[in-house]
Amino acid sequence: MHDDDFIHPWLAEIKSRVPGLELFDAHTHIGRNDPDGFSCTPGELTGVLEAADARAAVFPMHEPDGYPGANDAAVAVAAGSDGRLVAFCRLDPHADPLAEAERSLAAGAVGIKLHPRAESFALDTSELEGVFALAGERELPVLVHAGRGIPALGRHAVAICERHPGIRLILGHAGISDLAWIWRVVGEHPNLFFDTSWWSPADLLALYALVAPRHIVFASDAPYASPSFAATMNLRYAMQVGLDADQLRSVFGGQMARIVSGEEPLDVGPAPGHARLDRDPLLDRVYTFLAASIGQMFQGIDPAETLALAALACEVGEDAPQAETCSTVLKLLELRGQLISTNGEASPPRLDPPSGSADGHPPRFAPGVWTIVAAAGVARTPGVGVPPAGEPATGVGAREA
């Protein structure tokens, strides 16, 4: 499903630093009708979770024909997973959401998923007030898409948390639609959480630095990204800003396990703060070019010139303190080249993505994109150390005239 086989030794190494870490992925999907062109079978999801040794919450992808059947499928998959999966029911506010929530919860679901972008609604719609009241009474998690493609919803989320103190409201995708301000007030709302299902190192580093770890739960957004990749990179970001072992065990599994079990969320200390976001100016140049290339790859634009600038920015000198980090970045650029030679360049983005290609990826996801996301993450996390990326790359020295 993913061009990220290189990440598995990284995950094994970084997990070895945190004894007792048990991964729980708060955000995964099954289905075949995703509007962005992804698909994921129960077997595929189980496979990537097993590779990461992770549990997960699972819910349906977008279903244009409604969610009762898809919710039943998620509940059945969870029931047969030997504890690896728990099911959330997905609700459409325009299709009697309270009745569907009660039906699905009675069948075995332990939480609720809402997607304002896919179902075209605002979080303050009156059609959901009964659902939020139910979640508050039963102390249920409600996970809300809070990423791209929607207006800001944070103020509505805060108001819901105030009206229903028992709810556990989780803003998906690091709450990027509102992260600019909501980190300042989240400490006043013990029932408000963020999941980490997002790709940007800058956004995720800000989340870990500015939001107390009790409010953060690990998530991958599978099949958009694999649990192994998301866990590895998020562990690097969390370690870079200074989360300790107890905080890491909470963020990456413990807190979500408590939430889905109906237990009281655990406070594990304050946010590290702005001071932990210091940036190396030379590595920041590398990161800037890599981040720009990722945007190009997501849009189907050839990133060759931008990646060449990233490689040139890595020529810091063999004795420079940034040399090991830059060597790893160059190794990942080489790996992307190998993937391109094997798979070919990606097709341009489509305005009418298919229901899902044979491997679950839409054509707009370029081969090797995750190697560049990883390279950008490595450039922003020098304090965590160099991951096991194979033989060192050459080229960190100055180019000869």
- Report the candidate in 250, 262, 266 with the shortest Cα–Cα distance to residue 110: 262
What span, in angstroms and rounded, lies between the C-alpha atoms of 176 and 235? 19
Whether 339 and 289 have beta carbons less than 8 Å apart is answered as no
**What confidence score (pLDDT) does residue 64 get?**
87
What span, in angstroms and rounded, lies between the C-alpha atoms of 131 and 113? 11
Given a cut of 70, the residues of the chain with pLDDT beneath it are 1-3, 344-365, 389-401
Q: Please name each of the domains of the chain with its CATH number.
A: 7-277 (3.20.20.140), 281-384 (no CATH)
Q: In 3-state terms, what secondary structure has residue 222?
A: strand
What span, in angstroms and rounded, lies between the C-alpha atoms of 138 and 9? 40
How far is residue 123 CA from its own chain's centroid?
Answer: 21
**What confidence score (pLDDT) does residue 390 get?**
52
Tell me which DSSP letter residue 351 carries.
S
What span, in angstroms and rounded, lies between the C-alpha atoms of 189 and 178? 15
Whether 44 and 130 have beta carbons less than 8 Å apart is answered as no
**What confidence score (pLDDT) does residue 15 get?**
97
What span, in angstroms and rounded, lies between the C-alpha atoms of 383 and 387? 11
Instruction: Output the six-digit token pair for 109.
Output: 């679901």
Q: In 3-state terms, what secondary structure has residue 201?
A: helix
Q: Give the tens place of pLDDT for each residue, 282-336.
A: 999 999 999 999 999 988 899 999 999 999 999 999 999 999 999 999 999 999 9
| Residue appearing with tokens 């997501």 | 298
Q: Which residues pair with 231 in a beta bridge?
A: none
**What confidence score (pLDDT) does residue 150 get?**
74
**What confidence score (pLDDT) does residue 1 get?**
55
**What confidence score (pLDDT) does residue 19 get?**
98
**What confidence score (pLDDT) does residue 341 get?**
83
What span, in angstroms and rounded, lies between the C-alpha atoms of 226 and 166? 31
**What confidence score (pLDDT) does residue 396 get?**
59
